[in-house]
Structure 1
């Protein structure tokens, strides 16, 4: 059994009746909260279905011709696994029956691709203010969504509020991703939306990650010691809702407690993977951004442990261009900018089953919530189609493979560089080169086949390259598919 489940309604009724304590209470037959009418089940994978029932009750789960039986354990828990199923848009009934005559059922359940979309405000941001995504609504097919109601908890919760609906998710990025994935795969797509603005990655961490990450251990120690903040959290949980803006921001910027209430109840719901658009809250300093390079892979591995799936795929959205506070250094390769966060995000590629959507050509210099979300969703869908579903599509822009020194020139070799060109017909921009002095100068750049040749009259012995390594670089290098080159640096200089 993966974890205990508690029936809040049952316990509330129990308290009113003055009856047994929860330790001796009987459990009614329930199915876990992510299962409701209109649910989407993941195709081609084992599908766990779980819930509660009186200990010793025989529970039978029926769906699509399958029948699985289990006996509820001494903790009143039960779980079965449905065998892998092909995608189907046929609405069918998921029925759960107990030997005591109790029953639960979910109607109009389909099978397709399921993804959790999580992160902070740029994932939560709705599509209503993005006309090109809003225009997709009339042509939407086979999309369903489940939005987890945002709240917090001091301990890991086993249920959440939310329900599946037969419509697109409200998130601009999640909707665009689901739309183009459905177009490519031609199967139902289900999106579980679990995101909250201003949240750091630490907000989405299980507490036990303190054992692996010292900075998180310190943060949780400070959290536990702040009695005033703990009391405020409890007061907000007990008080009226919705919370005012200040209270909402206070809650969503705490560590761990978002994971407990919003993400943990979803485990181990079968899904293909998780789309992660987060990072802005972890850019307060270069040290924070460098730490993210260690934190993100550790967090991914911990989630894979939680789901029991080493192949749980993660689609990471690279932070786009942003240069607020950089004054005249928006394109500087040595400024303390989001370039360091993007490098940390790309560190996740050292793990298998990871894709990073390149957004270096997107964003807004001073608006941390840019509206150009359509290409983000498209690129995520391309990565999912190629990396997960094995489709023959180009899903990446040019990726640097090596830098070769040729006299006064540096030659940058790329993969995914078929038809290498610039969007404006000019020479490639955003390339900077340096020697051992670490003084960066703009490079003259020329495309030759699948390479870019760099030089500068200011350097006789160039050694290193930084490309698009800036807050808001002006980039124009793409491949024939129109996908932008990934930012990189070949040096090892410290920030």
Structure 2
């Protein structure tokens, strides 16, 4: 006979949480079989009822008001449970690899981290940290490292720096409480964050997961197969490198959660595979929207920052190719990109200026999601026109083009039909850039910022940098 259980909730619900405003929020938990559970929310003092099923699971769709609080939610059944200090606001799900996970303090230590932590008195910002976890099957409840925490100098050190600076900027501009759910895992590739459904629509991608789930039913089988095939130079088996495993354990369990949108910073582990990344990224965005049953959920992401030593050599750049693959996701509706080509570090794949990364993500959200009349992007290539041996480039977000150092525009290379690039001369003409080279009489292609750590200086009047681009469709 099953023992009596105390009424309880999914790990997502605790004191200090933020619930999505003006929405139907699904609240769910556990109790005794056939137990009648009362849910009383203090914002309207109405009591609603749900009954646990044969597995002892109950849920209720609760309507939330305009942002505000604090409130309480009281649950009554065979036992009682009260959640306190609840705010109603906007909840953003933040994910990716180490540059999203990087904390303000701890191993991250962003610019001026001690001052940032000391000044982190924002009780209207709350933070939920999903634990690192992998699974070869979708899980029903999330594993957490820390449940909802109120932002303060005592707690902020562990917060994702990008997520915190994003939340701070949005809160300061809107005064809407901001909840952050951080589900990130350092050193991971995008394939691990995609559900199996994301692979099925694409034959090439489907073969990847079919072989995994047909050949290996458990982690132990997969690890044994890997160990038997590895050489002395092979890295250790890492389950987090396997397609779908982070989606299954860290994203899918959040699917009932009502959120404002997604924030994403990832790509370093996919450098060298840009062609597939373009397909993966779009498929993942659609997959997550389907998982959350909301095709219009905003998805805002950070384009990879500049990295490695600067050089004047014109070589193939896998980092530039990955940035282009990321930018192509802007063809999907309700997406936005924070350009970071000017705030990386040559010798650090985890640049310290996360304040500006978070601010630029916030600009995208403030414009697109909060309908503020602000500029949110640097210049983005729109079209090209060729005239008298020169190339004229047209841009979106190009109001009052300028360089950030007062010099002529740099970072442009040009090629003819032979695909041999040379450095180009550039001048700004209104909201356009005119490119030429004495070495190329019939230009075919122009590229900008096309390098791991390019030396480029084109901005708009809002001090936002131009995104790297190429006008051609050549492989590399």
- TM-score range normalised by the length of the shorter chain: 0.7 to 0.9
Matched, 1:304 2:289: yes
Q: Determine which of 173, 182, 194 is the counterpart of 2:162.
A: 173
Q: CA-to-partner distance for each residue in 1:127-163, whole Å, 9 max, x for gaps?
A: 1211335423315322110111222233222222331
Q: 1 CA distance for matches of 2:96 and 2:185?
A: 6
Q: Determine which of 310, 313, 322 is the counterpart of 2:298.
A: 313
Q: Determine which of 267, 276, 282 is the counterpart of 2:255.
A: 267
Matched, 1:58 2:43: no
Match of 2:231 in 1: none
Correspondence list, 1:372-391, <5 A: 372-391=353-372
Secondary structure of 1:309's partner?
A: coil
Secondary structure of 1:338's partner?
A: helix
Match of 2:232 in 1: none
Q: 1:144 to 1:425 in 2, by over 3 A?
A: same
Q: Determine which of 186, 192, 195 is the counterpart of 2:181.
A: 192
Secondary structure of 1:392's partner?
A: coil
Q: Determine which of 185, 191, 194 is the counterpart of 1:202.
A: 191
Q: 2 CA distance for matches of 1:202 and 1:337?
A: 18
**1:228 deviation in Å?**
9.3
Aligned residues: 451
Match of 1:354 in 2: 335
Q: 2 CA distance for matches of 1:429 and 1:263?
A: 41
Match of 1:97 in 2: 76
**1:216 deviation in Å?**
5.5
Q: 1 CA distance for matches of 2:300 and 2:200?
A: 26
Q: 2 CA distance for matches of 1:134 and 1:219?
A: 44
Q: 1 CA distance for matches of 2:62 and 2:447?
A: 50
Secondary structure of 1:70's partner?
A: strand
Provide TM-score, normalisation by structure 2: 0.88
Q: Determine which of 81, 96, 100 is the counterpart of 1:123.
A: 100
Match of 2:307 in 1: 322
Secondary structure of 1:491's partner?
A: coil
Q: CA-to-partner distance for each residue in 1:394-435, whole Å, 9 max, x for gaps?
A: 111112221111211111112211121101000111111222
Match of 1:148 in 2: 130
Matched, 1:215 2:205: yes
Q: 2 CA distance for matches of 1:384 and 1:355?
A: 8
Q: CA-to-partner distance for each residue in 1:91-140, whole Å, 9 max, x for gaps?
A: 21122223xx3333211100112111111111111212113354233153
Q: 1 CA distance for matches of 2:327 and 2:83?
A: 40
Correspondence list, 1:212-251, <5 A: 212-213=201-202, 214-215=204-205, 217-219=207-209, 221-222=211-212, 225=215, 230=220, 250-251=238-239
Q: 1:139 to 1:154 in 2, by over 3 A?
A: closer
Matched, 1:473 2:464: no
**1:226 deviation in Å?**
5.8
Matched, 1:70 2:50: yes
Q: 1:410 to 1:75 in 2, by over 3 A?
A: same
**1:32 deviation in Å?**
1.5
Matched, 1:111 2:96: no
**1:183 deviation in Å?**
1.1
Q: 1 CA distance for matches of 2:220 and 2:274?
A: 27
User: Is contact 1:210–1:220 with CA below 8 Å preserved after alignment?
Assistant: no
Provide TM-score, normalisation by structure 1: 0.85
Structure 2 unaligned segments of length 5 or more: list them.
Answer: 225-234
Match of 1:460 in 2: 441
Q: Determine which of 252, 257, 274 is the counterpart of 2:245.
A: 257
Q: Bigger shift: 371-380 or 66-75?
A: 66-75
Secondary structure of 1:298's partner?
A: helix
Q: 2 CA distance for matches of 1:408 and 1:208?
A: 49
**1:359 deviation in Å?**
0.7
User: Is contact 1:433–1:464 with CA below 8 Å preserved after alignment?
Assistant: yes
Secondary structure of 1:114's partner?
A: strand
Q: 1:202 to 1:478 in 2, by over 3 A?
A: same
Q: CA-to-partner distance for each residue in 1:364-389, whole Å, 9 max, x for gaps?
A: 22322222222111101111111111
Structure 1 unaligned segments of length 5 or more: list them.
Answer: 1-18, 235-245
**1:229 deviation in Å?**
5.4
Q: 1:56 to 1:381 in 2, by over 3 A?
A: same
Q: 2 CA distance for matches of 1:180 and 1:52?
A: 37
Matched, 1:338 2:319: yes
Q: 1:91 to 1:392 in 2, by over 3 A?
A: same
Q: 1:321 to 1:37 in 2, by over 3 A?
A: same
Match of 1:36 in 2: 14
Match of 2:412 in 1: 431
Q: Determine which of 370, 394, 397 is the counterpart of 2:351.
A: 370
